[in-house]
Amino acid sequence: MPNSTPSRPRNHLYYIVLIAIFALGLWLILLKGSGLESRRGTASQQSTTASKSVVSQNVAAPPQSILGRLLRTGATSPLSILLLQIIVIIVAARSCAAIFRRIGQPPVMGEIVAGLLLGPSVLGQLAPSVMAFLFPATSLGTLGVLSQLGVVLFMFVVGMELDVEHLRRRATAAIVVSHTSIVVPFLLGAALALFLYEALAPASVRFVSFALFLGIAMSITAFPVLARILEDRRLQDTPLGSMAITCAAVDDVTAWCGLAVVIAIANSTGVSGALMAIGLTLCFIAIMLFLIRPRLNRFVALRVAQSRQTKSLLAVVLAFVFACAWLTESIGIHALFGAFLAGVVMPSVAGVRSFVKEKFEAFGSVALLPLFFAFTGLRTEIRLLNDWLGWVMCLAIVVVAVAGKLGGSMLAARWAHLSWRDSFGLGVLMNTRGLVELVVLNIGYDLGILSARIFVMLVITALATTLMTAPLLSLAKIKNLDAMGLSRGTNDGC
């Protein structure tokens, strides 16, 4: 039987002829098209030529190679700038995270500091031309939207990390500490607003919005960062660790509900608008907890039983998260609250939460969340604190934040019969603000409740209160169960 496959030399000849015909045909088409251009708008081309000749007499344009023109055009395109920003941000975030891990701090703090280093406070001072090239004003809109998507996914993961059943079992024991750790700093923050309002609040902001938001900012605990610190110190399974996690979970839920109310008040034009937003929020929470959650349990259980726990499940979950975020954004209480609640109602059928969390964190935490840190850093200009009064006010905010959160939690824990050392350790852990505080501050900045100056002060407060967590725990010699005087019986009984 003869071989029907053409020989290799014939193939080569075929492709050579094909390419030659293509090149010749394309050259003839372009040559013919250039003749069409020469006949269009002769008068306008003459005027353009004349103007170019005048310019060339005044300024002689330096000759530039084709490669130079290509690089210049490509490097300044919006997509090229965005890709370069992502590369620089991810490299800086991972590098700083590794450094902070080595010095005993949570890696996320290194990522936050990396965002500040890329902003006007450091890079803008050392190399303003580099910062202007990396982060032109026209690119900040796209960077901001991507960073918000990262925070939406992050808040969804935070919601999934809340163990609702564990919360129910220990809520009674932790209610005193957690609510005291909200009420005391909230009142101190609102009282501090009396002294800061005239000097730091934007002109168009009402005092009630400013005071309530400052109270919320003072009462935040960074649940995810706290959980990482407990894991690093192997405290998550100890009585103190369990108490801290439960208190932080109750704190987060209460604080985010309170923040939703504050946002509703800030966005409304009157009492009726605020009441409408609050009513819709309560309806949304009730629907999510009592209608969506049971049906979501059955839906996910069916998918798992049919071995469809892969792409289709992830697609449904992602659509569900974004739908919840869109609803709360439309209500007027911010998309992050909807993403957080979507995580809370996620079922834990056959490890679904861990599966979804692993997939979402792989992209959201590594790629998108550092963009949020950089975007926050671009908003943070430490040079705005250019006088002694500004630094005094910043120090006062830090002192009030620590006194309210650490002091209030410690006294409440002591009231609940914990030892002084364990009470102090619990207060230190509850004083951790970290990333969640930055999320809240950016919401206030976007809403116009915070000015750029107090935004910087509160960012410094978030960093200071989180960075002091590890040293203070070491000072109290809280490392593991053997180093604590708290017994399991004491914790269960309080």
- Asked if pLDDT for residue 220 goes beyond 80, the answer is yes
Q: Categorize the per-residue pLDDT at 256 as very low, low, confident or very high, splitting at 50, 70 and 90.
A: confident
- Asked if pLDDT for residue 493 goes beyond 50, the answer is no
Kindly state whether residue 153 falls inside one of the protein's structural domains: no
- Asked if pLDDT for residue 208 goes beyond 50, the answer is yes
Supply the pLDDT for residue 54.
Answer: 40
Supply the pLDDT for residue 84.
Answer: 92
- Cβ neighbours around 86 below 10 Å, total: 17
Q: Categorize the per-residue pLDDT at 41 as very low, low, confident or very high, splitting at 50, 70 and 90.
A: low
- Residues 281/331, Cβ–Cβ less than 8 Å: yes
- Asked if pLDDT for residue 51 goes beyond 50, the answer is no
Kindly state whether residue 96 falls inside one of the protein's structural domains: no
- Asked if pLDDT for residue 72 goes beyond 60, the answer is no
List, in order, residues 6 or more apart from 90 with CB less than 8 Å away: 366, 367, 370
Range 135-141 average pLDDT: 88
Residue 115 main-chain phi, psi, to 5 deg: -65, -40
Supply the pLDDT for residue 359.
Answer: 81
Supply the pLDDT for residue 87.
Answer: 93
Kindly state whether residue 363 falls inside one of the protein's structural domains: no
Range 349-361 average pLDDT: 76
- Give the pLDDT confidence of 22-31 residue by residue, as tens digits: 788 777 877 7
350: left (phi over 0), alpha (psi -120 to 50) or beta: left
- Asked if pLDDT for residue 431 goes beyond 80, the answer is yes
Q: Which domain holds residue 429?
A: 161-350+382-493
| CB neighbour class for 110 (10 Å; exposed up to 12, middle 13-18, buried from 19) | buried
Helix (H, G, I), strand (E, B) or coil at 365: helix
DSSP state of 431: T
Supply the pLDDT for residue 358.
Answer: 81
Supply the pLDDT for residue 104.
Answer: 81
- Give the pLDDT confidence of 223-245 residue by residue, as tens digits: 777 877 877 777 766 777 778 87
Q: Categorize the per-residue pLDDT at 93 as very low, low, confident or very high, splitting at 50, 70 and 90.
A: very high
Range 350-377 average pLDDT: 82
Amino acid (one-letter) located at 464:
A
296: part of which helix (H) or strand (E)?
Answer: helix 293-305
Kindly state whether residue 144 falls inside one of the protein's structural domains: no
Instruction: Give the gyration radius of the chain's Cα atoms.
Output: 29
- Give the pLDDT confidence of 94-119 residue by residue, as tens digits: 999 999 989 888 888 898 899 999 99
- Asked if pLDDT for residue 481 goes beyond 50, the answer is no
Kindly state whether residue 258 falls inside one of the protein's structural domains: yes
Supply the pLDDT for residue 303.
Answer: 66
Question: Diameter of the chain by CA atoms?
Answer: 98
In total, how many domains does the chain have? Answer: 1
Looking at the chain, the whole-number percentage of residues with pLDDT higher than 70 is 78
Supply the pLDDT for residue 192.
Answer: 93
Supply the pLDDT for residue 350.
Answer: 60
Kindly state whether residue 355 falls inside one of the protein's structural domains: no
| CB neighbour class for 331 (10 Å; exposed up to 12, middle 13-18, buried from 19) | buried
Supply the pLDDT for residue 490.
Answer: 37
Residue 450 main-chain phi, psi, to 5 deg: -105, 135
Cα separation, 156 vs 337, in Å, equals 9
Range 463-474 average pLDDT: 89
CATH code at 395?
Answer: 1.20.1530.20
Kindly state whether residue 142 falls inside one of the protein's structural domains: no
- Residues 465/185, Cβ–Cβ less than 8 Å: no
Angle (CA) 472-474-476 rounded to 5° is 70
Supply the pLDDT for residue 489.
Answer: 36
DSSP state of 405: I
Cα separation, 15 vs 23, in Å, equals 12
Q: Categorize the per-residue pLDDT at 169 as very low, low, confident or very high, splitting at 50, 70 and 90.
A: low
Kindly state whether residue 170 falls inside one of the protein's structural domains: yes
Cα separation, 310 vs 43, in Å, equals 64
- Give the pLDDT confidence of 279-322 residue by residue, as tens digits: 888 898 889 988 988 888 777 766 665 555 567 778 888 999 99
Range 53-80 average pLDDT: 56
Residue 136 main-chain phi, psi, to 5 deg: -65, 155
Lowest mean pLDDT across 2-11, 150-159, 454-463? 2-11
- Please give the sequence-ordered ranges of beta strands (E in DSSP) within 72-159, or none if there are none: none
Q: Categorize the per-residue pLDDT at 491 as very low, low, confident or very high, splitting at 50, 70 and 90.
A: very low
Range 9-21 average pLDDT: 76
